Amino acid sequence: MPERERHHSVMPGPCLLCGGPTALGLRLPGARLAASDLARDLDIAVCAACGFAFQAGADTPEYGEFIRHAYEAWDDKPLFDFPRRSQDNVAAAEIIARHSGRQARVLEIGSNRGDILALVKERMPEASILGVDPATHKNLPVPTLRAFFDPALFSSRFDTVILKQVLEHFADPAPMLAGARAVLEDGGLLYLEVPNLTRILEGRTDAFILEHTAYYTLSTLRAALSGFEIIEAQEAGSLRVAARKLPGKTAPARFVPPADGPRQAKEALEGLARLGRGRERGKELLVAHAAAGGRVLFFGAYNCFRALYRELSPLLAGCPCVVADDAMQGDREPVFGLPRVAGPEKGDLVLLCSNNAEVLDRMWERTAGQTGQTEQAGGGFAVIRPWSALLRADGTTSDLGADT
Ligand SMILES: [Zn+2]
């Protein structure tokens, strides 16, 4: 294939939600996947009318083909105990249990290992649980249909449908939301969770990745959820929404841009520009640290780390790299084989690896608290919170995205 065909247009098309005009907010040439070594240019467009942010070109067959290969390369190496009791997972299970009947029939679309379903079952022992996921994990611990979701797979309806960290993988949410409606009882519960664009931009987190095509604020998500009534919404690192299916067979009405769309669009473009500057500055710091013979500690060993490490490792050539992760087992991180350490040492540059702003907040508090101590007490290292802040070993901080 000629080189130029691998790069898609820099001019983003119309908004995938409302058809409004869009502008390019962020360009990441040669962006990396978490699960494989494939790379692709990543362009984030913002709709001027509704504020929706999306990956330009992600509605094309070429992107579909690219990402299908990526998901097929997904590894099934167990990294966490089952079920994983992260704060995020527990918060999701509690909302689902709060709004579901005791004996609910629960379907999770994109259930992966089934961690959430297992946590729901603990809270609702009389519920029946089923996952649907094309993942190739062996010995799945919850009942799972190994397939891409299709409403035609199911002959009866469910009381609760879970879409956790799924909708952001679809350029256009309408077919998936219509599918979820089709398998839900009238009045049934839809639990929906997506990354929170507002928090991503506030924290300038590294959440713009090839695997994600759509970025919602509560306002754009609410507008996309026609045919449902939102009964609870939590704005954390992720948006967590519980919604009831309104009766009626008709397709949801056309998307209507929220009134604050233009203001959201302006904030998104400004936030993306800051993030882009911070990303370049942070990478320069990492390269300089490696060139000076320093060690880089990746704090967090999951997807965010994997994509960042694939991108950064050619730039950090020869520099010792290690990982630290409380939830990880074993002496070595399983994908690249980096040694696992308990924590940073004097002289390290620590890169916090999460694309969830709240998880980053907790990591930052912990490492920043440590480096403020004397070197004897375990301080003396620097920390990059990608891509907003640098904490130096002397305790001073600077803004990576400052417009200088
Ligand atoms: Zn729009």
User: Is position 77 within any domain?
Assistant: no
The answer to whether the CB of 391 falls within 8 A of the CB of 282 is no
Q: How far is the CA of 201 from the centre of ligand 1 (A)?
A: 18
Q: How far is the CA of 166 from the centre of ligand 1 (A)?
A: 20
CA distance 337 to 327: 16
Single-letter amino acid, residue 140: L
Q: How far is the CA of 52 from the centre of ligand 1 (A)?
A: 5
Total count of domains within the chain: 2
User: Is position 47 within any domain?
Assistant: no
Q: How far is the CA of 274 from the centre of ligand 1 (A)?
A: 22
Q: Do 209 and 351 sit in the same domain of this protein?
A: no
pLDDT for the residue 35: 82
Q: How far is the CA of 103 from the centre of ligand 1 (A)?
A: 39
pLDDT for the residue 372: 55
CA distance 112 to 146: 10
pLDDT per residue as tens digits for the range 109-121? 999 999 999 999 9
Examine the pLDDT at 73 and tell me if it is beyond 70. no
pLDDT per residue as tens digits for the range 153-207? 999 999 999 999 999 999 889 999 999 999 999 999 999 999 999 999 999 999 9
Q: How far is the CA of 384 from the centre of ligand 1 (A)?
A: 34
pLDDT for the residue 133: 92
Query: Looking at residue 376, which CATH number applies to its domain?
Result: 3.40.50
Q: How far is the CA of 254 from the centre of ligand 1 (A)?
A: 12
pLDDT per residue as tens digits for the range 167-179? 999 988 999 999 9
Q: What is the 3-state secondary structure (H, E, C) of the chain?
A: CCHHHHCCCCCCCCCCCCCCCEEEEEEEEEEECCCCCCEEEEEEEEECCCCCEEECCCCCHHHHHHHHHHHHCCCCCCCCCCCCCCHHHHHHHHHHHHHCCCCCEEEEECCCCCHHHHHHHHHCCCCEEEEECCCCCCCCCCCEECCCCCHHHCCCCEEEEEEECCHHHCCCCHHHHHHHHHHEEEEEEEEEEEEEHHHHHHHCCCCCCCCCCEEECHHHHHHHCCCEEEEEEEECCEEEEEEEECCCCCCCCCCCCCCCHHHHHHHHHHHHHHHHHHHHHHHHHHHHHHHCCCCEEEECCCHHHHHHHHHHCCCCCCCCEEEECCCCCCCECCCCCCEECCCCCCCCEEEECCCCHHHHHHHHHHHHHHHCCCHHHCCCCEEEECCCEEECCCCCEEECCCCC
- Give the rounded distance of the alpha carbon of 132 from its chain centre: 20
Q: Do 113 and 239 sit in the same domain of this protein?
A: yes
Q: How far is the CA of 176 from the centre of ligand 1 (A)?
A: 18
CB atoms within 10 A of CB 228: 23
Examine the pLDDT at 55 and tell me if it is beyond 80. yes
User: Is position 3 within any domain?
Assistant: no
Single-letter amino acid, residue 288: A
The answer to whether the CB of 34 falls within 8 A of the CB of 209 is yes
Q: Do 319 and 247 sit in the same domain of this protein?
A: no
Q: For the residues 49-67, what does the mean pLDDT come to?
A: 93
Q: How far is the CA of 149 from the centre of ligand 1 (A)?
A: 26
Q: Do 294 and 380 sit in the same domain of this protein?
A: yes
Examine the pLDDT at 6 and tell me if it is beyond 50. no
Mean pLDDT of all residues in the chain?
A: 90
Q: How far is the CA of 22 from the centre of ligand 1 (A)?
A: 8
Q: What range does the domain containing 286 cover?
A: 279-399
CB half-sphere exposure, 209, CA atoms < 13 A: 28
Q: How far is the CA of 257 from the centre of ligand 1 (A)?
A: 6
CA distance 218 to 233: 8
Q: How far is the CA of 47 from the centre of ligand 1 (A)?
A: 5
**Six token digits for residue 348:** 């390290």
pLDDT for the residue 220: 93
Share of the chain above pLDDT 90, in %: 71
The answer to whether the CB of 274 falls within 8 A of the CB of 267 is no
Q: How far is the CA of 404 from the centre of ligand 1 (A)?
A: 31
Q: Do 236 and 308 sit in the same domain of this protein?
A: no
Query: Looking at residue 240, which CATH number applies to its domain?
Result: 3.40.50.150
Q: Do 103 and 238 sit in the same domain of this protein?
A: yes
pLDDT per residue as tens digits for the range 90-108? 999 999 999 999 999 999 9
Q: How far is the CA of 388 from the centre of ligand 1 (A)?
A: 27
Angle between helices 115-123 and 87-99 (to 10 degrees): 50
Residues surrounding ion ligand 1 at CB below 5 Å: 15, 17-18, 20, 47, 49-50, 52
pLDDT for the residue 140: 84
Q: How far is the CA of 234 from the centre of ligand 1 (A)?
A: 23
Reported as a pLDDT band with limits 50, 70 and 90, residue 76 is low
Q: Do 132 and 205 sit in the same domain of this protein?
A: yes
Q: How far is the CA of 17 from the centre of ligand 1 (A)?
A: 5
CA distance 239 to 233: 7
Q: How far is the CA of 21 from the centre of ligand 1 (A)?
A: 7
pLDDT for the residue 290: 95
Q: How far is the CA of 285 from the centre of ligand 1 (A)?
A: 36
Q: For the residues 279-294, what does the mean pLDDT come to?
A: 95
pLDDT for the residue 69: 80
- Give the rounded distance of the alpha carbon of 394 from its chain centre: 32
pLDDT for the residue 3: 42
Q: How far is the CA of 48 from the centre of ligand 1 (A)?
A: 7
Q: Do 103 and 170 sit in the same domain of this protein?
A: yes
Strand partners, 352: 299
Q: Do 242 and 289 sit in the same domain of this protein?
A: no
Q: How far is the CA of 156 from the centre of ligand 1 (A)?
A: 35
The answer to whether the CB of 275 falls within 8 A of the CB of 328 is no
**Six token digits for residue 313:** 């490792």
pLDDT per residue as tens digits for the range 344-396? 999 999 999 998 888 898 999 988 777 655 555 557 899 999 999 999 988 88
Q: Do 183 and 225 sit in the same domain of this protein?
A: yes
Q: How far is the CA of 284 from the centre of ligand 1 (A)?
A: 35
pLDDT per residue as tens digits for the range 316-350? 988 999 999 988 888 999 899 999 999 999 999 99
Reported as a pLDDT band with limits 50, 70 and 90, residue 5 is very low
CA distance 30 to 322: 24
pLDDT for the residue 371: 62
Most distant pair of Cα atoms in the chain: their distance? 67
Q: How far is the CA of 331 from the centre of ligand 1 (A)?
A: 47
Q: How far is the CA of 402 from the centre of ligand 1 (A)?
A: 29
User: Is position 132 within any domain?
Assistant: yes
Q: How far is the CA of 266 from the centre of ligand 1 (A)?
A: 13
Which of 251, 270, 298 terminates a domain? The answer is 251
